């Protein structure tokens, strides 16, 4: 009896998937993909799965797995989900293929903006942009009669006013978890003050005026944060918002949807977004622009690559966007920006525009060095100057071992 | 036993030990003296990146690795002597800190910071593991038969829990608005931020380790207690020895070999501490030597990883374990020879 019921349930499940499938073609080549695991990737890979013979691995550790998996021959995955930060090792090791011929054949619906070109060749197809920008509690700002800050000086003033009023536990949240997150927070501020990370000959350049200012501003901001900010990653900040503990944060655009999810948020409809604040007058918003998209492996037969690309195009079509409009700032035709997207769009279209996160070998080393050395500054063990000098020394040692410096 | 029979019994495990322990160790040793690097070339490259409305293209000079005709990265391997070791130990910063007698600066270099914590962690948890393990064993041994089973089961629980899960559950009790933090805040009417305080994190990490390992010591001691000579104990009672004196002069000397055994195991395990750093996200406050090796091995977004430094750091960790074990091992050796 039980077996029969199970079999019946299975049959229903099968018929349900076939009913949903609205892929334009029947895929008969086995295609696998490896990407990050946030909402947008779920939507895209679900849409790709409608074509059949497709399996997706959504893994937050994708950035460490991808280079080795794509270097294998044949590659373990046909499709890779990357961002401008994580595409670097794939480009450097030559494990992804140029897509020009496939785009010509199957990419009629792509906009020129989606075609990521490196040295003239299309190496990736972008599907969405992401950036860290200001999210704030509209109701609190209204109640206290505060203006939405556009510079970090104003952020500090507003934070002080919110602290004074005592309406939330901490006025500010920030993605300052030790390591990658903390380094990225510094990168944003450092670029906001017009800094450059390294010189043309790969020697470090963070120990500069911009570096000192960035650290000072960050330190000033931490006064208004939960003292445990060094363990606070994107999910932590998102939850602080959802539980009404903070009033402002410079947070990833891809986290916006969760604020209005009634299943987990206490602040549905109360969180607004605005451009990332600028660090100095006339500067670009203190943040970096990111894109996420797909690449196709080089070490696979051409037929598999063709099938993979066609499946990917089905995943990145207007149908998918209409079903998952809130999940990302899509670059795909058919996307209608909602209110939560305004901040990211304002950031991406600001003048001057923030730069895209640089995808270079040097930046990888620099990011790690910053992540490792910044802790001592925030725990109060080291001054700003000493910290920046330590970052440069740590970067130089790593760059020598990597062969980038003599 | 004939030599041939002996060899046939021992052969497979010697072979596996060579394959899985000796060979990797030699490979790590060699790696720590050499550096393998891709050959880089600089090239002017135009990269177009997606914006919201339109692309932004930049032309810049990029340093990229050279690929051969098969599409593989061209690499060179060089012997670098002890330079990776110097790198791990702190290089110029170490020399500067030493010449200025700046102890604070020394402890801000990753390796020394990790060494300081690892040593404190290992040496402070050791007496607690031994003491707590012995205490539980004695208590259980004296408990009535009816409750023995359940008590043993409950005491073993922390040991059965997967290490990372155990660490996370203690973390959740104390970090942020954890239950324990909220209680403490209500009780003392203060505002606590456990994760923001290095010493508090360090204490929690040690607390977790003792909680997790004490049951292991307990099981060993409990087994040992079953073999204590009852006649000696009885004569001690007749001689008027108190409970404490019986423990001190009869039980503990009997358990001494087990105490040395647990000490050895614990020193080895605690010196390789790793899961505490992950479980308590303590990277910003406290790191261990094993974590340092992991950190060197972890590739960054651009795919760089420091194999040579990681190997040097692993070798240094091994040397540390050997030094730490020297004292108890010498003692065991002496006892062995004496007996």
pLDDT per position as a tens digit, B19-31? 999 999 999 999 9
Q: Say how far apart CA A346 and CA A358 lie, in whole Å.
A: 21
pLDDT of residue A331 exceeding 50: yes
- Report the gap between the CA of B227 and the closest CA in chain A (Å): 49
B50–A390: do the CB atoms touch at under 8 Å? no
Q: Report the percent of chain A where pLDDT is more than 90.
A: 64
A361–B304: do the CB atoms touch at under 8 Å? yes
Encoding tokens for residue A20?
């949903």
Other beta carbons within 10 Å of B208: 23
List the single residue in B110, B301, B303 with the smallest CB-CB distance to A367: B301
A226–B193: do the CB atoms touch at under 8 Å? yes
Helix (H, G, I), strand (E, B) or coil at A143: helix
pLDDT score, position A13:
43
Residue owning tokens 């004074």: A164
Encoding tokens for residue A112?
């020129």
pLDDT per position as a tens digit, A133-192? 999 999 999 999 999 999 999 999 999 999 999 999 999 999 999 989 999 999 999 999
| CB half-sphere exposure, A227, CA atoms < 13 A | 12
List the single residue in B71, B304, B308 with the smallest CB-CB distance to A364: B304
- Report the gap between the CA of A272 and the closest CA in chain B (Å): 19
Helix (H, G, I), strand (E, B) or coil at B305: coil
**Closest chain B CA to residue A387:** B108
The DSSP call for residue A225 is B
Q: Which residues of A touch B45 (CB under 8 A)?
A: 118-119
Query: How does strand B34-38 pair with strand B75-79?
Result: antiparallel
The answer for B189, left when phi > 0, alpha when psi is -120 to 50, beta otherwise, is: left
Other beta carbons within 10 Å of A17: 11
Which string of DSSP letters, residue by residue, matches B306-334?
Answer: -HHHHHHHHHHHHHHHHHHHHHHHHHHHH
Other beta carbons within 10 Å of A37: 16
B306–A398: do the CB atoms touch at under 8 Å? yes
CB B133 within 8 A of CB B148: no
The complex's ipTM? 0.81
Listed residue (B331, B293, B298, B299) closest to B312, CA to CA: B293
Mean pLDDT, residues B153-178 taken together: 88
Local confidence band at B339 (pLDDT 50, 70, 90 cut-offs) = low
- Report the gap between the CA of A229 and the closest CA in chain B (Å): 8
List the single residue in B35, B193, B283 with the smallest CB-CB distance to A179: B283
The DSSP call for residue A265 is -
pLDDT score, position B258:
93
Mean pLDDT, residues B149-170 taken together: 88
Please identify among residues 79-108 of chain B the ones whose CB lies closer than 8 Å to any CB of chain A. Answer: 84, 87, 91-93, 104, 108
Q: Which residues of B touch A229 (CB under 8 A)?
A: 196
DSSP H stretches of helix in A78-208: 88-92, 100-106, 138-143, 152-165, 180-192
pLDDT per position as a tens digit, B202-258? 999 999 999 999 999 999 999 999 998 888 889 988 988 888 898 889 999 999 999
Q: Which residues of A touch B56 (CB under 8 A)?
A: 353, 356
pLDDT per position as a tens digit, A55-111? 999 988 888 899 999 999 899 999 999 998 899 999 988 999 999 999 999 998 899
List the single residue in B284, B301, B309 with the smallest CB-CB distance to A178: B284
Please report the number of interchain residue pairs, chain A to chain B, with beta-carbon separation below 8 angstroms: 177
- Report the gap between the CA of B45 and the closest CA in chain A (Å): 5
Encoding tokens for residue A145?
């009669």
Inform me whether the C-beta atom of residue B295 falls under 8 Å from chain A C-beta atoms: yes
Q: Which residues of A touch B281 (CB under 8 A)?
A: 177-178, 231
Residue owning tokens 């995943």: A315
- Report the gap between the CA of A350 and the closest CA in chain B (Å): 11
pLDDT per position as a tens digit, A332-341? 999 998 888 8
Local confidence band at A259 (pLDDT 50, 70, 90 cut-offs) = confident
Q: Report the percent of chain A where pLDDT is more than 70.
A: 95
pLDDT score, position B89:
92
- Report the gap between the CA of B84 and the closest CA in chain A (Å): 8
Angle (nearest 5°) at CA B199 between B195 and B204: 65
Distance of CA A13 to the CA centre of its chain: 34
Q: Which residues of A touch B198 (CB under 8 A)?
A: 379
CB B292 within 8 A of CB B273: no
Encoding tokens for residue B69?
């005709």
pLDDT score, position B292:
94
**Closest chain B CA to residue A404:** B40
Residue owning tokens 């060197």: B296
Encoding tokens for residue B96?
């500067």
Q: Which residues of B touch A227 (CB under 8 A)?
A: 193, 196
pLDDT score, position A1:
44
B-interface mutation test, from A368, A382, A400, most B Cβ less than 10 A away: A368
A379–B92: do the CB atoms touch at under 8 Å? no
Q: Say how far apart CA A256 and CA A339 lie, in whole Å.
A: 10
């Amino acid at each position: 009896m039980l077996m029969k019921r199970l079999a019946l349930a299975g049959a229903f499940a099968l018929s349900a998937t076939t009913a949903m499938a609205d892929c334009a073609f029947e895929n008969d080549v086995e295609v696998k993909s490896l990407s990050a695991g946030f909402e947008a990737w779920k939507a895209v890979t679900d849409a790709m799965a409608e074509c059949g013979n497709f399996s997706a691995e959504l893994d937050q550790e994708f950035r460490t797995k991808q280079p080795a998996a794509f270097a294998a021959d044949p590659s373990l995955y046909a499709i890779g989900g990357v961002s401008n930060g994580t595409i670097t090792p794939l480009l450097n090791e030559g494990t992804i293929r140029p897509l020009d011929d496939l785009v010509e054949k199957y990419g009629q619906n792509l906009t020129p903006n989606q075609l990521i070109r490196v040295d003239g060749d299309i190496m990736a197809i972008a599907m969405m942009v992401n950036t860290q920008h200001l999210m704030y509690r509209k109701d609190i700002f209204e109640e206290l009669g505060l203006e939405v800050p556009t510079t970090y000086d104003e952020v500090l003033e507003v934070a002080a006013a919110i602290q004074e009023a005592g309406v939330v536990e901490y006025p500010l949240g920030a993605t300052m978890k030790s390591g990658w997150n903390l380094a990225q927070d510094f990168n944003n501020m450092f670029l906001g003050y017009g800094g450059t990370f390294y010189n043309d000959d790969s020697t470090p350049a963070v120990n500069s005026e911009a570096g000192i200012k960035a650290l000072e501003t960050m330190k000033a901001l931490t006064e208004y944060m939960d003292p445990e900010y060094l363990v606070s990653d994107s999910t932590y900040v998102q939850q602080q918002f959802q539980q009404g503990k903070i009033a402002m944060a410079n947070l990833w655009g891809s986290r916006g949807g969760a604020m209005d999810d009634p299943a987990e948020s206490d602040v549905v409809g109360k969180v607004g977004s605005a451009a990332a604040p600028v660090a100095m007058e006339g500067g670009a918003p203190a943040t970096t622009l990111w894109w996420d998209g797909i690449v196709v492996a080089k070490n696979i037969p051409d037929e598999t690559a063709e099938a993979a690309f066609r499946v990917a195009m089905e995943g990145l079509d207007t149908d998918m966007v209409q079903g998952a409009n809130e999940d990302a700032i899509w670059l795909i035709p058919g996307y209608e920006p909602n209110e939560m997207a305004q901040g990211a769009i304002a950031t991406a279209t600001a003048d001057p525009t923030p730069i895209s996160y640089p995808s270079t070998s040097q930046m990888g080393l620099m990011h790690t060095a910053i992540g490792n050395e910044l802790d001592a500054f925030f725990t109060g063990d080291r001054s700003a100057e000493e910290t920046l000098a330590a970052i440069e020394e740590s970067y130089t040692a790593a760059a020598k071992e990597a062969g980038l410096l003599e | 036993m004939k030599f041939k029979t002996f060899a046939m019994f021992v052969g497979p495990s010697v072979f596996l030990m060579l394959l899985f322990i000796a060979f990797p160790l030699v490979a790590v040793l060699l790696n720590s003296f050499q550096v393998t690097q891709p050959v880089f070339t600089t090239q002017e490259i135009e990269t177009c990146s997606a914006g919201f409305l339109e692309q932004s293209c930049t032309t810049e000079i990029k340093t990229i690795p050279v690929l051969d005709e098969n599409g593989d990265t061209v690499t060179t391997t060089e012997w670098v002597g002890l330079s990776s070791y110097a790198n791990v130990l702190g290089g110029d910063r170490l020399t500067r800190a030493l010449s200025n007698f700046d102890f604070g600066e020394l402890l801000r270099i990753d390796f020394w910071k990790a060494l300081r914590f690892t040593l404190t962690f290992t040496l402070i948890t050791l007496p607690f593991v031994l003491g707590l393990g012995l205490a539980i064993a004695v208590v259980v041994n004296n408990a009535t038969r009816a409750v023995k089973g359940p008590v043993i089961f409950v005491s073993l629980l922390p040991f059965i829990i997967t290490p990372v899960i155990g660490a996370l559950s203690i973390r959740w009790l104390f970090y942020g608005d954890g239950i324990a933090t909220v209680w403490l805040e209500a009780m003392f009417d203060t505002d606590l931020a456990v994760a923001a305080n290095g010493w508090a994190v360090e204490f929690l990490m040690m607390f977790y380790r003792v909680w997790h390992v004490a049951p292991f010591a307990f099981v060993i001691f409990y087994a040992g207690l079953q073999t204590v000579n009852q006649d000696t104990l009885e004569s001690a009672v007749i001689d008027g020895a108190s409970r404490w004196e019986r423990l001190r002069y009869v039980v503990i000397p009997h358990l001494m070999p087990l105490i040395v055994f647990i000490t050895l195991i614990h020193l080895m395990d605690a010196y390789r501490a790793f899961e505490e750093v992950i479980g308590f996200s303590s990277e910003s406050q406290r790191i261990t030597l094993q974590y340092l090796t992991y950190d060197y091995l972890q590739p960054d977004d651009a795919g760089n990883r420091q194999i040579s430094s990681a190997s040097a750091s692993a070798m240094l960790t091994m040397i540390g374990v050997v030094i730490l074990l020297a004292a108890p091992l010498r003692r065991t050796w002496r006892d062995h020879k004496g007996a």
